[in-house]
Amino acid sequence: MNVLLAEDDVKLGELIVYMLKKKAGINAEWVKEGEDAYYYAVSSYHDVLILDWMMPNGDGIDVCRRLRKEGYAGAILMLTAKDAVEDRIAGLDSGADDYLVKPFEIDELLARLRALSRRNYAPILEEETQFHDIVLNRSSQVLRRAQQAVQLSPREFQLLDLLVQNKGQVLTREVIMDRIWGYDSDVSMKTIDAHVKLLRKKLDSVGKYDMLHSIRGVGYKIEN
């Protein structure tokens, strides 16, 4: 099972991730801010998202509503200290599938995760994805525009696919690094810039150089 935990309490976050991995062998990723939770949710598959209600840069309710508005179909568990009936209703009305009040027993969390994962909310990535007149084939990793086609390297394809899935949104270098290379890698941020440069050359070869935008000091986005 793949789980994304969004929790800004460092001690609690560390404990949850440790217990999920140790007790259940669950692959758990952990972010501490709402905006990161959104980017992680839309850029890769998770069986369940665990969203803390109160987080900086977008609380769990805001993230949940935003994801549901954009058609996100994955399972979402709201985690919060708010236990009033009206708070539970607000959490569920935002699009959450379940609601767990702090403090809680780890066994109850595991049971709820198992129940949610069985509902099979898994979004299926299509063989091809399209952005305006650009088509990306995930099997062949080929970029196509009209009668023009160009082969991308695995990293170039991952980068473009990630940006297209988040079209119009600025992805920071840190988010790109984590989603493609992983924070534990010894790759420098300059590697991202180098791959962007190579990707721009291939986009230019099909007449779409200007669709990949640099946001100075922040990161990149796809917009056209």
- Over residues 22-49, the mean pLDDT reads 86
Residue 31 banded pLDDT, cuts 50, 70, 90: very high
- Over residues 182-197, the mean pLDDT reads 78
Residues 179 and 206 in one domain: yes
Strand order in the sheet with 148-151: 128-131, 134-137, 142-145, 148-151
Sign of the alpha-carbon torsion through 40, 179, 190, 149: negative
CA distance 153 to 142: 9
Among 8, 108, 105, 7, smallest CA distance to 50 is for 7
Q: Determine contact, residues 55/8, Cβ cutoff 8 Å.
A: yes
- What CATH number did the domain enclosing 158 receive? 1.10.10.10
Using the 3D structure, point to which of 90, 117, 144 is the last residue of a domain: 117
CA distance 123 to 21: 24
Residue 32 banded pLDDT, cuts 50, 70, 90: very high
Residues 136 and 93 in one domain: no
- Over residues 91-99, the mean pLDDT reads 81
For the cut 80, the answer to whether the pLDDT of residue 44 exceeds it is: no
Domain span at 102: 2-117
- Over residues 194-212, the mean pLDDT reads 88
Tell me, yes or no, if the pTM score tops 0.75: no
For the cut 90, the answer to whether the pLDDT of residue 30 exceeds it is: yes
pLDDT, position 126: 66
For the cut 90, the answer to whether the pLDDT of residue 2 exceeds it is: no
On whether residue 109 sits in a domain, the answer given is yes
**Span 109-150, pLDDT tens digits:** 988 888 887 664 445 456 788 888 889 888 788 999 888 899
Residues 159 and 75 in one domain: no
- How many structural domains comprise the chain? 2
Higher-scoring residue by pLDDT: 124, 211: 211
Higher-scoring residue by pLDDT: 88, 109: 109
Omega before residue 154 within 30° of 0, cis = no
Helix (H) or strand (E) holding 173: helix 173-176
pLDDT, position 122: 47
On whether residue 123 sits in a domain, the answer given is no
